[in-house]
Amino acid sequence: MASIMQTKKTTPPFPGSRTIRAVTKADAKELLDIYSYYVTNTAITFEYDVPSVKEFEGRIESITKRYPYICAEEDGKILGYAYAAPFKEREAYKWDVELSIYVERSRRKCGLGRALYSALEEELKKIGIINLYACIGIPNGDDDEYLNHASQKFHEKLGFKTVGTFYNCGKKFGRWYAMIWMEKFIGEHN
C-alpha cells in the first residue's frame, strides 16, 4: 500500500538504520526465507509444507490489493514482516482483519515485532479498520520444542485479549495443538 511511510531510526540492539516499508512481490524470496523456518521447525504455523516463491508472490499480491503488508529492513536486509488479511469475506466484517507476523528468529525479543505491529495498526486505522484479530497456536498444556506461549504473551503486551480457545484443532509433528483467538479494538464502534 502506497500510504506506508518509510521511517528510519536507530534502535538498540539494531546498529544500522531500520526501515519499515510496504512489501512488494520482489520481496517474496526474502520473506519466504524467514517463514520457512517456522513451517519446518515449529507449530507456530500449521502449514506443513514451505510454499514456493511463486505461491508466496501470489499471497503478497492478493493481500496488498486490499490491506497493508509491511516489512522491517535493516541495512537492506528484511528482518521481519506483518500483514493484515480478511477476517471473513462478508460485507459485515469489513471493519475486521486477521493479523500475521513473522520475525527472523535471531531478531525475536528485540522490539521488532512491536515496531511492525505499531506501523501496521496505523495503516489499518487509515483505511477504517476497527477490530484486529490474531489466530495463535498454543500447546495443549506445557510448552514443547515446537510451540510455546510466546506469541500469546507478545499479543497480550500489545493489548490483545483472548476471546476463544479451540482445543486439539491442529495436528503437526504428530501432536495435537490448541488455537486461541485474540482481539484488539483500535477504533470506536459508532
pLDDT in tens, 105-138: 877 777 899 999 999 999 999 999 999 999 999 9
Q: Are 116 and 23 within 8 A, CB to CB?
A: no
- Whether pLDDT at 8 is above 50: no
Please state whether the peptide bond connecting residue 13 to the residue before it is cis, i.e. omega within 30 degrees of 0.
Answer: yes
Nearest to 55 by CA among 35, 33, 28: 28
Secondary structure of residue 47 in the 3-state scheme: coil
- What is the reported pLDDT for 2? 39
- Whether pLDDT at 6 is above 70: no
- Beta-carbon count within 10 A of 6 CB: 9
Confidence of residue 1 (pLDDT cuts 50, 70, 90): very low
How confident is the model over 51-98, as pLDDT tens digits? 999 999 999 999 999 999 999 998 889 999 999 999 999 999 999 999
Distance (Å, whole) CA 17 – CA 15:
7
- What is the reported pLDDT for 16? 58
Q: How far apart, in Å, are the Cα atoms of 152 and each of 55, 136, 156, 163?
A: 28, 7, 6, 12
Q: How far apart, in Å, are the Cα atoms of 7 and each of 4, 22, 30, 82?
A: 9, 11, 20, 16
Q: Are 138 and 156 within 8 A, CB to CB?
A: no
